[in-house]
Amino acid sequence: MIPGLTLDTYDEGERNAMSDAMDVMVRGFDPAYGEAWTLAQLAGVMTMPGTWLTIARVDAAPLGFALVRSVLDECELLLLAVSPLWRGRGVGETLLVDSLKTARRRGITSMNLEVRASNTAIRLYEKIGFEYVHRRPGYYRGNDGQLYDALSFRIDMLR
C-alpha cells in the first residue's frame, strides 16, 4: 500500500473529479490504441444513474481512477487507469478491489469488463478472480486504424 493513498468516490459529474480523471486518462492510456475518452464522453456517462467514479490520490494528486456503471444487479468496469509513474505499486488493484466492495454494498452481484487482448492489466483482473468469457475480434480501433481484439471478463460476487 502506498502511504497517504486515499480513494474518493463520486456518484455525479463532479467537475473536479472528472478533471482529475482526465489528467490520469491523458497520461495513462497509450494514444496508439485510441482507448482514452474525451471529457464530453466522461461527463455524459457520469450523468447516467448507477455510475460512479473513484479517484486514487496522494496529497490531492490523482494517481488513478476507476469508472463503473451499474444496471440492476450487474455492473461494468468501464475504465481503469493508473498514471505510468504509479503502475506496479498496487494503485490499480486498490481501485479494483474498492470498486468491487462498492458494488457489493449497492447490491450488485456481478461485474463485467472488456479489455484489449494485449493489455497487461489482464493479469490483475485474473488475480482478483475475473474469469474469461469471450473474445470480440476487432473490437477496438487504434488511432492508426488498426483493429485490436477485446477480451470480456466477469466476476460473480456471490461466490
Q: What is the dihedral of CA 81, 75, 159, 97, to 10 degrees?
A: 30
Cβ count near 40 (within 10 Å): 8
Task: Identify the pLDDT of residue 13.
Answer: 59
Record the cell numbers describing residue 72, joined without a space: 440492476
Record the cell numbers describing residue 51, joined without a space: 455510475
Measured distance CA(109)–CA(72) in Å, rounded: 9
Measured distance CA(64)–CA(92) in Å, rounded: 7
Record the cell numbers describing residue 25, joined without a space: 486518462
Task: Identify the pLDDT of residue 16.
Answer: 73
Task: Give the strand pairing for 110-116 and 61-71.
Answer: unpaired
**Residue among 55, 60, 68 at smallest CA distance from 28:** 55
- pLDDT tens-digit profile, the chain (159 residues): 688 899 999 986 566 799 999 999 999 998 888 889 999 999 999 999 999 999 999 999 999 999 999 999 999 999 999 999 999 999 999 999 999 999 999 999 999 999 999 999 999 999 999 999 999 999 988 888 899 999 999 999 886
Active-site entry in 125, 131, 132, 139: 125
Active-site entry in 33, 76, 114, 139: 114
Residue 114 falls in the annotated catalytic set: yes
Residue 125 falls in the annotated catalytic set: yes
Task: Give the strand pairing for 110-116 and 131-141.
Answer: unpaired
Task: Identify the pLDDT of residue 31.
Answer: 86
Task: Identify the pLDDT of residue 8.
Answer: 93
